[in-house]
Structure 1
Amino acid sequence: MAADRRTAPARAEAVRRAVRVTLAASAGFYPLVYGLHQPQMSLYALFAPVALGILSPIPGSGRQRATVVLGSLPAGLCLVALGTALAASTAAAVAGMVVVGFVLVFAAVAGPRAAGAAPGLQLFYILACFPPYAPETLWQRLVGLATGTVLLALCELLVLPVTGRPSYRSRLALAVQEAARAAADAADGTAPPDAAARLRASSNGLRLSRLPPAERPAGPWRSARALSQAGAAARRLLEQLARLAEAPQRDPRPDPSSAVLLRLVASVCDTTAASLRSGRADDEPAALPRAIQDFQDARVGRTAAGTAPRASVLRCQSAVLALAASAYILRTAVAVGTDGRRTAPIEPRELFWYADASTAALWARRLAGNATLRSVLFQNAVRTAIGLGAARLVAGSLELTHGFWVLLAVLTLGRTTAGETWTTVRSALAGTLVGALAAGLLLYAVGRDPEAYAAVLAPAMLAAFTLGPLFGVAWAQGLFTLVVASAFSQLAPASWQLAEARIVDVLTGSAVGLLCGLAAWPAGARREVRRSMAGLLRATAPLTPATVSAVLSERPATVPAEATWHALHSLRLAEAAYAQYRSEPQDDSRVPTDWHAVLLTAQHVLIGAQWLPRLDRSATGIPPAAADWARTTAARLADTTDRTADRCNGRATVPWDGPPPVRIPAGDPARPTLVDLEQWLNGLAEDLRRIASS
């Protein structure tokens, strides 16, 4: 992490952000103190830019940050009013802190920008909920908060603004364009030697862990859900095209029918890329599904007529059919996500359930889905609420001077794992001690000369907000101690005991944060990612035999919707746990488990469960022995998936290489339905082997 902080772009951004926040804080603080003589206004005008500019890691460009900052102002005003009203009683302030702490952290379900603004909003309530109980000063606090917030938004827009990065749509458009070229090359049999590597590199560029937080489609809205699904479909399509490019073929050119379908996939991808760039859906949504069904009907018809091609050609056709299905999901998701408006029901409904759901239903599903102890968002909200509530209780009961510093320590030093919290606290305490010593010497030497503190404040802020992000929490806490000493000494007479109070408060907050970290999910997402990935595999395991049964049914059948809903819910929880896990420090001494392979396996099963029964609508002519082989293989793979889940959860320690490749038994006729099942089951076996190898 230190190396990442010290890269040239990181250093430049730290300096620019420090300049913006220092300028906004100074522009509000100094005129209100020395011009209007309003200490309450100036305090909130000072801390508003610090809260939303430094404490809140709001991602995005200058315009995006300014929008979030201004959008946070109404909530900030309400929180200051609430804190001012509850400051009359420690019990009321503690109860309010617990509720506010939980709600603001749980607001991360709305996406990275809402999560980024949460710490700053917490600080607004924290500042207001401490004595003295002075409701008559509420208007001054609100004016100061509004002044500082507006000044910060203006600085984000006008002072060294952050330039916009490529949006997720533009990144997705480039990846889809790459898929279009690869599909056209595959149709002509002219794929270059490095095609597979280039396709996988393009796929990796869409991994959410490699994207700036502001560009991740993580919100509950329809457009965000659709773009997230489109990204997953694009990655799957790119991987399928890479495997097709790697497949050994006697003839590099596909059969004529496969070539036609590949060219249509290339055309659809071109159109989809154009839609992503323009924000308008294409006008021919039914062309690809019709072509997919005609392609499959022709395969089945040739088999019934006794003119089926050899097994290798059928396998190639099955691969082309699967990637065409991925292209359809990609195109449809992009069509839903381009404008975010409600769309008529889309098949398969289980995958596109959100297309015709109301905004209220989308929010309700996101909130209800995360209201569980298995959700890392819920865990973080509970941990933070308990920590802040306990800190407010301790500070109020002991009547600590500047007790809000206790809560600020909990807010800034708490991490998602107890080990990381302890490491952070050690550095913070060391920095605070040094900073308090420097602040004490300053207060002793200067005495009650406000002009001297005014001269120190702005350079101290610039240094703290620049060096803290670059060199770590020790520098941040030490220099911030100097900042608060300089600021409060201008608002009221102060002595060296202010630095002493700072040490006591930070030490108290650190102790509360450590105890809460040890008591509530001390391992962070490390343990939860194991549980959630194991739960995801167990949720998808029943879909394998259910899919085979639906395909082999003599009447059109589908996989039970309840099983699909359960798997989709487990997938969302696993994705959230994986995202937090990737944000936590990793143990370099251990070989990391490929948790991302588990997510891809689940997507592989879900897509096959919805598409295969629709493509292979009748099992007429399948020999009983071949049908028994398919059911037995599916049951074995479902059992293997459960065993893999046990390994993910640490319950199985016996070395295991995963299931063997799946192949139709020698002597059985090669029929499209059987080959499609073979390809899908073999892909699942390969996914499980990849998980086992890690």
Structure 2
Amino acid sequence: MTADTARAVVVRRGVRAAVAACAGFYPLLYAADRPVAALYALFAPVALGLLSAVPGSGRQKANVVLRALPPALVLASLGTVLAGSTWAAVGGMLVVGFLLAFAAVAGPRPAGAAPGLQLFYILACFPPYAPGTLGDRLIGLTAGVLLLAACESLLLPERAVPSYRRRMADALRTAADEAASPGRVPATTLRAAGERLRLSSLPPAEQPASAGRTDRALDQAGRSVRRLLNQLAALSEGPSAPPDPASAVLLARVAEVCRGCASYLRTGERAPVAGTLETAMQDFGAERVRLTCGPPALVPPLAVLRRQSRVLAVAESARIVEVTTDIAAHGRPVGPAVPRDQFWYAELSTPALWARRVLGNITLRSVLFQNAVRTALGLGAARLVAGALDLAHGFWVLLAVLTLGRTTVAATWQAVSRAVVGNAVGALAAGALLIGLGPRTDAYAALLVPVMLAAFCLGPLLGVAGAQAGFTLVVAAAFAQIFPVTWRLTETRMTDVLTGSAIGLLCALLAWPAGAHREVRRTMADLLRSCGSLVRATTEIMMDPASGVRTPAPILPSLHRLRLAEAAYAQYRSEAPAVRAGTGTDWHAVLIVASNTMLGAHRLPRLGLPRTAEPTGPPAVWARTAAADLEAAADRIAALVGGGSPAPVRPPAPAPADYPPSSLSVDLEVWLTSLGRQLAWIEETARLGERGGRADG
């Protein structure tokens, strides 16, 4: 998104929130004579239209806003009931604050609506304790939410962007063109098509972030499509090999599968059923076994076997796309979904998957859990201070904590310092306004619309200071129409904002002050260690000549660590670059190498060449040495990024130039060599970062 586009989005959002707020405020205040309802009708669009970052198109935003109405009514009712006791309100704030902040585990849309929903409880849980006004509060809240939903759909709505399914369909068509005619598509085009599927390049509303089977399948499919495109690019750039009709046939089948999946993702018709590519790969593997076990004269050259190994890796990525598209289409796999660990979610119910998502994040190492605890403690402390000191308009204290809190001390201080300056400027302007106009309600009514448009449209473009100054003027113009106010209203707001800022800073200082930086180091280090062990275990399975049917090494421990690392990395990337403590490490490459490690752990025992006949020969010795080197490299990088003392670097043993296929699985050799290159790159970036090199990527 360009800077001009971002500014246009901010302006349109401000216009929609201002129109919805005014459309509810004026009729309820002046026509219906319901000041409480008018106040809630004004704040509802502010809460869900400005304070909440609801992603998506106009229709998607309206849908989220409407879905937020029932919980908003419940929260307003709960706050009204608990407002009679400070301790009851504080307890409710702790629970509500944690649950709504932790709702980020459900994806970008619930996470986007959560701050606005927090405000509905905050507004209602402060004195005066007036349960008799609950009806007016709910009427105003409902009017404001419905008006905002209408404005999101009809007034300068955000345009829809290509969906994730559409992007995957386009990428699969590109992959199909290359697989059908190798060399037809430039490698740069293939890699660029894969980059467009990165979740960081997608609008939040289009990311498959739910815990359900469909979104999990689409997420896995997108990773596999990216890997498929990168593998096709590497295959086209690799060394030439003698003609290989079997590889050409398998690539043609890959092209067919890609076209079929692309067609379904684009149209929703003729859903694929997994199994065709699995059969083709088994036939391909059986032919390789037959040739390598036959007379020496028929054994293909090592260059051909290596290319076949890379073609099999391409087919395996396409097969995962086929299976995951099958799951996304039918809810459960209709065709074979093997190995089961790779598609562990396919047979679980939706409640079970959500339970796993929630329980997997209830840990001190989960950034989502950390943020939820920090938010709940900050809001609870703010409610306690505001109640104990009997601060007038104490909800501004909580609003300051909610809007100014960040994931690090540096970021919170930066926001707070700017907010204080903005509030000071806004307070001076609002004080002058209240002194100059006095009790003239008609003047404030006339000023509210232009002040609100300026504050909501221009304030965010000027940063935290501009937004706080604008909101102070809006508060003054609105409250002056409902209650008798003086210039001391701005003094009260300034005091409350300073109090909330101090509480926010204290929470940022005491609760995980490094934000996601420390967590991304720790989770990535754990992931690397787990993958290093998985490489060693997989190699031992492949090198055992006595084993019959090889059972893949378990990947669920590594998969769990991958999920935690992804969450930490997503939070880390959301922090402002100015406050990010960079180590230089290419975290994205760590996630990629983890995915490739787990994929190989599943694929190699099923698709490798025959059992090793010489477990003590030089090729087998190299394989074990290479696996040990990779495990050591993973541990060394983990120590480096985790702040420990890394072991000395040991140069890897070069792969044997030539060897009999019966002495070592070519697939294992290609996999180990590929992982070695990836880990070497990660270690290089990590060491550069420790010396003050590049920012994290």
Structure 2 residue aligned with 1:481, among 469, 472, 477? Answer: 472
- Kindly indicate whether residue 635 of structure 2 is the aligned counterpart of residue 642 of structure 1: yes
Structure 1 residue aligned with 2:626, among 633, 648, 658? Answer: 633
Match of 2:593 in 1: 601
Residues 198-209 of structure 1 correspond to what in structure 2 (within 5 A)?
A: 198-209=189-200
Residues 192-591 of structure 1 correspond to what in structure 2 (within 5 A)?
A: 195-249=186-240, 254-280=243-269, 282-305=271-294, 306=296, 307-340=298-331, 346-553=337-544, 554-561=547-554, 564-586=555-577
In the comparison of the two structures, how many residue pairs are matched? 679
Structure 2 residue aligned with 1:135, among 131, 138, 148? Answer: 131
Check whether the contact 1:84–1:134 (CA below 8 A) recurs between aligned residues.
yes
Match of 2:645 in 1: 652
Check whether the contact 1:33–1:42 (CA below 8 A) recurs between aligned residues.
yes
Q: 1:550-602 CA distances to partner (integer Å, 9 max, x unpaired)? A: 223321122343xx111111000111111111111225996732100000000
Check whether the contact 2:611–2:662 (CA below 8 A) recurs between aligned residues.
no
Specify the SS of the correspondent of 2:282: helix
Shift of 1:628: 3.6
Aligned equivalents of 1:53 and 1:540: distance in 2?
Answer: 43
Shift of 1:387: 0.5
- Kindly indicate whether residue 69 of structure 2 is the aligned counterpart of residue 81 of structure 1: no
Aligned equivalents of 2:492 and 2:581: distance in 1?
Answer: 41
Q: 1:292-348 CA distances to partner (integer Å, 9 max, x unpaired)? A: 111111111111112111111111000001110011011111221235457677211
- Kindly indicate whether residue 49 of structure 2 is the aligned counterpart of residue 53 of structure 1: yes
Match of 2:120 in 1: 124
Specify the SS of the correspondent of 2:585: coil
Structure 1 residue aligned with 2:666, among 649, 654, 675? Answer: 675
Shift of 1:618: 4.6
Aligned equivalents of 1:550 and 1:654: distance in 2?
Answer: 27
Structure 1 residues 112 and 411, CA, compared in 2 at 3 Å: closer, same or farther?
same
| 1:541 aligned partner, one-letter code | G
Structure 2 residue aligned with 1:11, among 7, 11, 14? Answer: 7
Structure 2 residue aligned with 1:106, among 85, 88, 102? Answer: 102
Aligned equivalents of 1:269 and 1:344: distance in 2?
Answer: 16
Specify the SS of the correspondent of 2:318: helix
Gaps of 5+ in 2: 686-697
Structure 2 residue aligned with 1:64, among 51, 60, 66? Answer: 60
Check whether the contact 2:18–2:449 (CA below 8 A) recurs between aligned residues.
yes
Structure 2 residue aligned with 1:171, among 129, 153, 167? Answer: 167
Specify the SS of the correspondent of 1:541: helix
Aligned equivalents of 1:473 and 1:677: distance in 2?
Answer: 54
Aligned equivalents of 2:581 and 2:530: distance in 1?
Answer: 31
Structure 1 residues 653 and 645, CA, compared in 2 at 3 Å: closer, same or farther?
closer
Specify the SS of the correspondent of 1:131: coil
Shift of 1:201: 1.0
Check whether the contact 1:280–1:339 (CA below 8 A) recurs between aligned residues.
no
- Report the TM-score when normalising by structure 1: 0.95
| 1:107 aligned partner, one-letter code | A
Q: CA RMSD, aligned part only?
A: 1.8
* 6-15 vs 226-235, greater mean Cα deviation: 6-15
Aligned equivalents of 2:613 and 2:530: distance in 1?
Answer: 32
Shift of 1:617: 7.4
| 1:209 aligned partner, one-letter code | S
Aligned equivalents of 2:367 and 2:389: distance in 1?
Answer: 33
Check whether the contact 1:409–1:506 (CA below 8 A) recurs between aligned residues.
yes
| 2:500 aligned partner, one-letter code | G
Check whether the contact 2:272–2:322 (CA below 8 A) recurs between aligned residues.
no
Aligned equivalents of 1:449 and 1:219: distance in 2?
Answer: 51
Aligned equivalents of 2:609 and 2:665: distance in 1?
Answer: 12
Check whether the contact 1:343–1:356 (CA below 8 A) recurs between aligned residues.
no
Check whether the contact 1:203–1:235 (CA below 8 A) recurs between aligned residues.
yes
Aligned equivalents of 2:603 and 2:54: distance in 1?
Answer: 40
Q: 1:8-38 CA distances to partner (integer Å, 9 max, x unpaired)? A: 2122222211111111100100011111111
Aligned equivalents of 1:106 and 1:491: distance in 2?
Answer: 35
| 1:649 aligned partner, one-letter code | G
Check whether the contact 1:311–1:670 (CA below 8 A) recurs between aligned residues.
yes
Specify the SS of the correspondent of 1:164: coil
Aligned equivalents of 1:483 and 1:352: distance in 2?
Answer: 52
| 1:574 aligned partner, one-letter code | A
Shift of 1:175: 1.1
Aligned equivalents of 2:210 and 2:641: distance in 1?
Answer: 28
Specify the SS of the correspondent of 1:163: coil
- Report the TM-score when normalising by structure 2: 0.94
Check whether the contact 1:395–1:406 (CA below 8 A) recurs between aligned residues.
yes
Structure 2 residue aligned with 1:23, among 19, 22, 26? Answer: 19
Shift of 1:268: 0.8
Aligned equivalents of 2:446 and 2:290: distance in 1?
Answer: 86
Structure 1 residues 146 and 339, CA, compared in 2 at 3 Å: closer, same or farther?
farther
Shift of 1:266: 1.0
Q: 1:116-161 CA distances to partner (integer Å, 9 max, x unpaired)? A: 0000000000000000111111111111100000000001111111
Match of 2:608 in 1: 616
Structure 1 residues 344 and 507, CA, compared in 2 at 3 Å: closer, same or farther?
farther
Shift of 1:691: 0.3
Aligned equivalents of 1:690 and 1:203: distance in 2?
Answer: 20
Shift of 1:623: 4.9
Percent same amino acid at aligned positions?
Answer: 57
Shift of 1:616: 2.7
Structure 2 residue aligned with 1:161, among 138, 157, 160? Answer: 157
Check whether the contact 1:556–1:618 (CA below 8 A) recurs between aligned residues.
no
Aligned equivalents of 2:599 and 2:657: distance in 1?
Answer: 28
Q: 1:420-473 CA distances to partner (integer Å, 9 max, x unpaired)? A: 111011111000000000111111111111111111111111111111221201
- Kindly indicate whether residue 136 of structure 2 is the aligned counterpart of residue 145 of structure 1: no
| 1:631 aligned partner, one-letter code | R
| 1:217 aligned partner, one-letter code | P
Aligned equivalents of 2:187 and 2:250: distance in 1?
Answer: 20
Structure 1 residues 604 and 283, CA, compared in 2 at 3 Å: closer, same or farther?
closer
Shift of 1:655: 8.1
Q: 1:372-401 CA distances to partner (integer Å, 9 max, x unpaired)? A: 011110011011001000100111111001
Aligned equivalents of 1:653 and 1:614: distance in 2?
Answer: 35
